[in-house]
Amino acid sequence: MGEATRTRPSRRARELPPSPIRALAPLAEAAKQRGVRVLHLNIGQPDLPPPPCVLEALAEARRLPLVYAPARGLPETVDAWCAYYRRQGIEIEPAEVLVTSGASEALWLALLATTDPGDEVLVPEPFYAPYQGLLAAAGLRLVPVPPGPSLGPPDPVELRARVTPRTRAILLCSPANPSGAVWDRAALAAAGELARQAGLYLLSDETYREIVFDGPRATSVLELPGLEEHALVIDSLSKRFNVCGLRIGALATRNRAVMAAALELAELRLALPVIDQLAVTGALAAPRPYVDQVVAAYRARRDAVLAALAAVPGVEAHRPGGAFYIVARLPVDDAERFAAWLLAEFEHRGETVMVTPMRSFYATPGAGRDEVRLALVHAPETLARAVEILAAGLAAYPGRNSRTHS
Amino acid sequence: MGEATRTRPSRRARELPPSPIRALAPLAEAAKQRGVRVLHLNIGQPDLPPPPCVLEALAEARRLPLVYAPARGLPETVDAWCAYYRRQGIEIEPAEVLVTSGASEALWLALLATTDPGDEVLVPEPFYAPYQGLLAAAGLRLVPVPPGPSLGPPDPVELRARVTPRTRAILLCSPANPSGAVWDRAALAAAGELARQAGLYLLSDETYREIVFDGPRATSVLELPGLEEHALVIDSLSKRFNVCGLRIGALATRNRAVMAAALELAELRLALPVIDQLAVTGALAAPRPYVDQVVAAYRARRDAVLAALAAVPGVEAHRPGGAFYIVARLPVDDAERFAAWLLAEFEHRGETVMVTPMRSFYATPGAGRDEVRLALVHAPETLARAVEILAAGLAAYPGRNSRTHS
């Protein structure tokens, strides 16, 4: 191998899936340079304020000793996670919880602790786009499973049909980013039954668990009996408490051997920051009234945006049961091209919108080609304007197609 | 495979090297339960206060928006790292720096961006113990290289002799944890020359760069000409600024393709916490007078502990040129057994010491068997007492051997 070849990045890095958002970012930047205001419906970052007790805890930040926390997390933060789960009817011990740097690290540790390179992971579509890169970096094969009606949980038969001797896990997200689909107890139980029969792990990303529009929260895999050895919860406080900038999540499982393995892996990164852990400890102890307000805000936004989209010809929006996104099919040739066009060539009264093309939320070739994800992270009047801009864009877009949705 | 086998942790997790400290921790806990005070010379966590400007920045923590930072880091923190390097004579662009969660994440991203499973990495012994686990988790083979005189940089011939077609990188640490050895310019240049000839990456962990006892700082691989495509610096502020609890480090390289790959990998974890990044930005802009005091404190401790150890029969201490550890050979059968005995069966006036056995800092079987690492992270009077306890322990230890060191 010549020198130039030898100092190329690794194969595993070169094979990471491309990010459509990375391609759109410079277009958004250029639009802003031209004086066009860009409404970012592409980022899953809440605009709501964090719980007051988080800010109160941060006021004490300068008095904290800046020392390594235990790899599992500060004991008071681990205990607070347990108290939080207990209030939701989930009995879990501190030895079964590991504080992580958001859901991303929780999933990463879960993957490394449960799977080996070459293993297969079943992932219902559409999925949180970074799963593709995380699985690729861990040397895993992502096996997509087509969604059920209205982008809901897949038919258990479809899951079962994809199990091979290399399958090690099912990775689901409920309430789902991007679709907002909420797995009900029956859907989770069917996946759990398959996991038990086939000896698989059930990795459940419950980042949005409390952001549901019917009932206080989505069912957790930790509530299902008989899955003690199979179920791992990937959790995060970023969305629930509007604290994306703190990066605090958790991995929770009753499989003590897997937890011990995850903890050994976590020891390699030593510790998480102490300030960020302590900032959320109080909020974990008393979240519900706060989260109620958060859910009410998103419910109103969802209803308003769905109503507005229903009036746009050719647009078919999926009704989310939770989380804070809306996936919509658009009457366009290609959603990536449309999203780029909105930024590069369109404006409506000095504004345009940045949306997330859905292609990277699928592994099945061609799937999601005419879909976009809209994040409901703006005030209602901004969202109303965003839909108006989107409608005007669709009317003007040269790649509009004439397909009418059922 | 039966169900019980299927829900075992992954092979990659099961094959992580065992941690001797994990085995000792319960013994230390039990000693404390018995009322024995344990002086922890095993943890590399500074006891010195952080720079005042870090604490001033933290006083503003509650006013910061808790939003996702860019994956590369907050622009002001990236710029501060560049200014910091520039003051050390290293010209580097923001596009060549990535803010990381300590040196651990910097190394992890560097490994994933430059190596593939099955590749070999040359690692001079003794090495920072977690390298073993990090390399194993990344699917890499750690190829140990024996140290030069007094645990210093290896003979370049020894490095070269271990290069195979699977070798992808040399991973060095200077000033070294645990030995305190500082690679001078000639030793770095020799490794750099090998990297160029064989097309290898030179991963340089410079966590302790400014903590050196001769001259203002250790040479960085970024100062050597001709290594633009090869050299990656793994950096951390934890030790330099006594901010272990913030978890801020950096990856720096002029190899733009590798940096792009590392950034793509970093995007999978979204972002680092904003508060912790902003806390160090000011300190990066003006660190030197502060670091001078830190270095003076460690120099005095090093000299005092070396002098005290020289008076203990049978002990041979290596003189560190930097960092804040002392590696000492002890007249014992086995340093792990001795360290356990100190905690489980010994006390001196109500106190004992916890030391780090050196076995896990080597991959060569049997190496380091009679060595321990002592961390100089206590006040001088505590360190003096610790050496006194160690001497009393050695005198009483039943596994003492009669070997005399040259």
CATH of the domain at B192: 3.40.640.10
**Residue A403: per-residue pLDDT:** 57
Helix, strand or coil, per DSSP, at residue A143: strand
Same domain, B236 and B122: yes
Same domain, A252 and A206: yes
Contact A36/A352 with Cβ under 8 angstroms? yes
Domain boundary among A288, A308, A330: A288
Same domain, B58 and B185: yes
CB nearest to B247's CB, from A9, A43, A273: A273
Would you say residue A402 has pLDDT above 70? no
Distance from CA of B349 to the nearest CA of A (A): 28
> B-chain residues within 8 Å CB-CB of A62?
55-56, 58-59, 61
Q: Among residues A106, A52, A46, which one has the least CA distance to residue A286?
A: A52
C-alpha span between B362 and B358 (Å, rounded):
7
Distance from CA of A187 to the nearest CA of B (A): 22
C-alpha span between B100 and B98 (Å, rounded):
6
> B-chain residues within 8 Å CB-CB of A262?
13
C-alpha span between A378 and B49 (Å, rounded):
42
List of long-range contacts for A81-84, beta carbons under 8 Å, 24+ apart: A81/A235, A81/A250, A81/A252, A81/A284, A83/A284, A83/A285, A84/A284, A84/A285, A84/A287
Helix, strand or coil, per DSSP, at residue B210: coil
Q: Among residues B64, B103, B152, B138, which one has the least CA distance to residue B250?
A: B103
Instruction: Provide mean pLDDT across the span A313-334.
Output: 97
| A405 assigned to some structural domain | no
| A401 assigned to some structural domain | no
- The pLDDT > 70 percentage for chain A reads 97
For each of chain B's 406 residues, which pLDDT tens digit applies?
455 568 899 999 999 998 878 889 999 999 999 999 999 999 988 999 999 999 999 999 999 999 999 999 999 999 999 999 999 999 999 999 999 999 999 999 999 999 999 999 999 999 999 999 999 999 999 999 999 999 999 999 999 999 999 999 999 999 999 999 999 999 999 999 999 999 999 999 999 999 999 878 899 999 999 999 999 999 999 999 999 999 999 999 999 999 999 999 999 999 999 999 999 999 998 767 889 999 999 999 999 999 999 999 999 999 999 999 999 999 999 999 999 999 999 999 999 999 999 999 999 999 999 999 999 999 999 999 999 999 999 999 999 986 544 3
Contact B251/B222 with Cβ under 8 angstroms? no
Amino acid identity, position B177: N
Beta bridge partners of A372: A328, A357
**Max alpha carbon distance in chain A (Å)?**
63
Instruction: Determine which of A27-41, A392-406, B36-50 has the lowest per-residue pLDDT on average.
Output: A392-406
Same domain, A275 and A372: no
- Cross-chain Cβ contact B114/A9 below 8 Å: yes
| B405 assigned to some structural domain | no
Pairing state between β B371-375 and B325-329: antiparallel
> B-chain residues within 8 Å CB-CB of A71?
none
C-alpha span between A372 and A356 (Å, rounded):
5
Would you say residue A401 has pLDDT above 90? no
| A392 assigned to some structural domain | yes
Same domain, A207 and A232: yes
B130-137 and A256-267 helices, crossing angle to 10°: 120
Same domain, B182 and B202: yes
| B93 assigned to some structural domain | yes
Q: How many domains does chain B have?
A: 2
**Residue B353: per-residue pLDDT:** 98
Q: Among residues A298, A281, A261, which one has the least CA distance to residue A377?
A: A298
- The encoded tokens of residue A388 equal 């108006």
Residue of chain B with shortest Cα separation from A246: B273
Instruction: Provide mean pLDDT across the span A207-211.
Output: 96
Same domain, A282 and A355: no
Instruction: Tally C-beta pairs within 8 A across A and B.
Output: 229
Domain boundary among A288, A305, A335: A288
- Cross-chain Cβ contact A104/B5 below 8 Å: no
| B297 assigned to some structural domain | yes
Q: Among residues B204, B253, B281, B269, which one has the least CA distance to residue B97?
A: B253
- Condensed to tens digits (0 to 9), the pLDDT of residues B351-380 reads 999 999 999 999 999 999 999 999 999 999
**Residue B136: per-residue pLDDT:** 97
Pairing state between β A316-317 and A325-329: antiparallel
Q: In terms of C-beta density within 10 A (0-12 exposed, 13-18 middle, 19 or more buried), how is residue A350 classed?
A: exposed
| B18 assigned to some structural domain | yes
> B-chain residues within 8 Å CB-CB of A200?
6
Q: Among residues A374, A400, A369, A370, which one has the least CA distance to residue A386?
A: A374
Distance from CA of A314 to the nearest CA of B (A): 34
Q: In terms of C-beta density within 10 A (0-12 exposed, 13-18 middle, 19 or more buried), how is residue B305 classed?
A: buried
**Residue A5: per-residue pLDDT:** 66
pLDDT band at A4 (very low <50, low <70, confident <90, very high): low
Same domain, B307 and B208: no
Domain boundary among B239, B266, B286: B286
C-alpha span between B126 and B359 (Å, rounded):
9
Same domain, A273 and A320: no
Pairing state between β A316-317 and A249-253: unpaired
C-alpha span between B265 and A13 (Å, rounded):
7
- The encoded tokens of residue B406 equal 């040259």
C-alpha span between B203 and B245 (Å, rounded):
24
Same domain, B355 and B330: yes
**Residue B5: per-residue pLDDT:** 67
Contact A41/A354 with Cβ under 8 angstroms? yes
Dihedral (C-alpha) B64, B69, B73, B77: value to the nearest 10 degrees? -20
Domain of A331 in residue numbering reads as: 3-48+291-396
Distance from CA of B257 to the nearest CA of A (A): 6
**Residue A1: per-residue pLDDT:** 47
CATH number of the domain to which A353 belongs? 3.90.1150.10
C-alpha span between B57 and B72 (Å, rounded):
21
- Condensed to tens digits (0 to 9), the pLDDT of residues A109-155 reads 999 999 999 999 999 999 999 999 999 999 999 999 999 999 999 99
- Going by the DSSP 8-state scheme, the letter that residue A152 receives in this structure is -
**Residue A285: per-residue pLDDT:** 85
- The encoded tokens of residue A126 equal 């559409």
List of long-range contacts for B47-50, beta carbons under 8 Å, 24+ apart: B47/B377, B47/B378, B47/B379, B48/B242, B48/B294, B48/B297, B49/B242, B50/A66, B50/B241, B50/B242, B50/B243, B50/B283
Same domain, B156 and B301: no
| B404 assigned to some structural domain | no
pLDDT band at A216 (very low <50, low <70, confident <90, very high): confident
Same domain, A82 and A226: yes
Beta strands in B219-330 (DSSP E): 231-236, 249-253, 316-317, 325-329
C-alpha span between A285 and A81 (Å, rounded):
8
**Residue B4: per-residue pLDDT:** 56
pLDDT band at A406 (very low <50, low <70, confident <90, very high): very low
Q: Please provide the average confidence, as pLDDT, over all residues in chain A.
A: 95
